[in-house]
Amino acid sequence: MTNGLKTGVCVLGALIALSPLYGGGKKDEPKAAQTVLIGIAKIVQHPALDDVEKGIMDAVKDAGVKADFDLQNANGDVNTAAQIAAKYKDEKVALAVGIATPTAVALANTIKDAPVVFSTVTDPVDARLVSTLDHGEGNVTGLSDAIPTVDHIGLFKEIAGIKTLGYIYTSNEANSISALALVEEGCKKHGLALVTQAINTSADLRQAAQAIVGRVDGIYLTTDNTVFSALPALVQVFRAAKKPIFSGDVTGAKDGGCLIASGFNYYKAGLATGRIVLDILGGKKPADIPVKFLTDPSETDLLFDLDAAQNCGVSIPQRYLDQATFVYQNGALTEK
C-alpha cells in the first residue's frame, strides 16, 4: 500500500469515527459513505489565492477523503467575509479554511464549534488568531506566508541601485500593517529612504501608483491581497515611468512587469495547508498543531523579468539568473 493510500485510509477511518462531530452527510446515510463538508473562503480572487485554494482541495482529494467544498470569495470586503463565516456556522461545516487575514479572522471570530484553519496569514499573532507560533489557539491553527522582506530590499538595492523605495499598502488589512514595519526595518538596514502610500480598496491602486511613482526609484510589494488583485494597474504606471518593481509574490508576477519576484509557491502553500486540514480531520486538535511556515528551498520561487530590466535600464548579474526558477523575456515566461 502506498503512503498516500495509507493516509487516505487512515483519515477516512477517522472521519467515520468522528462523524457525529464532523457530519456533512445525510442522517440516514451509512457512515462509511458520508461526505465531509469543508468551507474554504478567500478574501479576494487573484492567481496566488486561487492556487492556495486549489492546493488545499488537491491535498484532501489525493488523501482519499470524500469531501464537498463550499468555496466563497469575499471580494475584498470584510463585511462579506463575516457573512461567509456566518454561513459556514449555519451550515455546520466540518472545518473552515480562511485564506488571507480578513477571512481567517472572520471565521475564527464566528466559528467556535468546529476547527478553523488559516492560510497565507502574514502575522497570525498580530491578527490575534493565535497567541504564539508554537501551537494553535483553541479551535484555530494554520499557515503563515511571512516573507524575508528585509533581505528582499537588500537584493533590490543591489540589483536595481535604488536609493528611495516606494511601498503601497492596504490600511485596513492587518498583514499589510505588519509588513510595513518590516519594510521600514529593511530600508533602515540598507540605507534607503522610504515613501509610503495607503489604499483602502483595489480601485485606489492606480491613483496611488500615480501619486508615488515620481517620488521613488522603485517599488516593493509585499503579499498584500488588495494590491495584487489590481496589480496590472500598478505595473502600467511603473512601466511607463521606467521604474522597477520587486514583488514578494511570484504568482502575480508571471504575467510580466515585475523586475524581480521572490516568494514561496502558493500552490505548495495550499498543499501544506491541506495537510493541516487532514491532520485535524484525522483526529489532531488544532491547539496542538504549531503554525506552519514554508522554509524549504523547494517551496520558494525566484523570477526575473528581462523585459522589465531592459525597460528600466537594469542589468541582472548572471549569478542571480542562474538561481532563477522563472525568467520572463520577449513577452513569455520560461520555467528553468
pLDDT above 50: residue 257: yes
Residue 319 CA to residue 322 CA, distance in Å, equals 5
Measuring CA to CA, how many Å separate 223 from each of 87, 210, 211? Answer: 27, 20, 21
Ranges 36-40, 44-48, 281-285: which has the least confidence? 44-48
- The half-sphere exposure of 85 on its side-chain side, counting CA atoms within 13 A, is 26
Asked whether residue 195 falls in the same domain as residue 249, the answer is: yes
166 within 8 A of 218, measured Cβ to Cβ: yes
Question: What confidence tens digit (pLDDT) does each residue in 45-90 have?
Answer: 988 899 999 999 999 999 999 999 999 999 989 999 999 999 999 9
Shared domain for 74 and 169, answered yes or no, is no
- pLDDT confidence of residue 297: 76
pLDDT digits (tens, 9 = 90+) for 136-192: 999 999 999 888 999 999 999 999 999 999 999 999 877 788 889 999 999 999 999
> What pLDDT was estimated at residue 193?
98
Q: What b/e sequence results for 256-266 when a residue is b if at least 16 CB atoms lie within 10 Å of its CB, and e otherwise?
A: bbbbbbbbbbb
Confidence band for 302, pLDDT divided at 50, 70 and 90? very high
Residue 309: name the closest of 240, 255, 271, 260 by CA: 260
Q: Average model confidence (pLDDT) for the chain?
A: 89
Is the domain of 304 the same as that of 284? Answer: no
The 10 Å Cβ neighbour count of residue 28 is 5
Pair (189, 285) in one structural domain? no
Q: Are residues 33 and 132 in the same domain?
A: yes
Mean pLDDT of 125-142: 96
State pTM to two decimals: 0.73
In three-state secondary structure terms, 218 is: strand
Q: How many degrees, rounded to 5, is the angle at CA 196 between CA 192 and CA 199?
A: 155
Residues 196 and 85 in one domain: no
The reported pLDDT for the residue numbered 223 is 83
CA distance 49 to 143: 13
Shared-domain flag, residues 171 and 314: yes
pLDDT of 99 strictly over 60: yes
pLDDT, residue 299, reads 83
What average pLDDT does the segment 193-222 reach? 96
Residue with the three cell numbers 530590499: 153
Q: Supply the pLDDT for residue 146.
A: 85
Question: How much is the pLDDT for 15?
Answer: 41
Q: Is the pLDDT of residue 20 over 60?
A: no
Say what the pLDDT of residue 22 is: 37
CATH code, domain carrying 172:
3.40.50.2300
The string of pLDDT tens digits covering residues 211-254 is 999 999 999 999 888 898 899 999 999 999 999 999 998 988 99
Mean pLDDT on 84-108: 97
Whether residue 290 sits in one domain with residue 254: no
**Helix or strand (DSSP H, E) at 3:** helix 3-17
Task: Kindly state whether residues 205 and 312 are assigned to the same domain.
Answer: yes
Band (98; pLDDT cuts 50, 70, 90): very high
More confident residue, 71 or 263: 71
Task: Say whether pLDDT at 29 is over 60.
Answer: no
Pairing relationship of beta strands 140-142 and 193-199 according to DSSP bridges: unpaired
The percent of residues above 70 in pLDDT, for the chain, comes to 90
Q: Are residues 136 and 40 in the same domain?
A: yes
Structural domain boundaries enclosing 195: 149-264+300-335
All 3 cell numbers of residue 217? 526609484
- pLDDT recorded at residue 46: 87
pLDDT in the model for residue 224: 87
pLDDT tens-place string over residues 110-124: 999 999 999 999 899
Cell of 37: 463538508
Percentage of the chain surpassing pLDDT 90? 77
* Overall number of domains in the chain: 2
Question: Are 224 and 169 in the same domain?
Answer: yes
The answer on 115 and 161 residing in a single domain is no
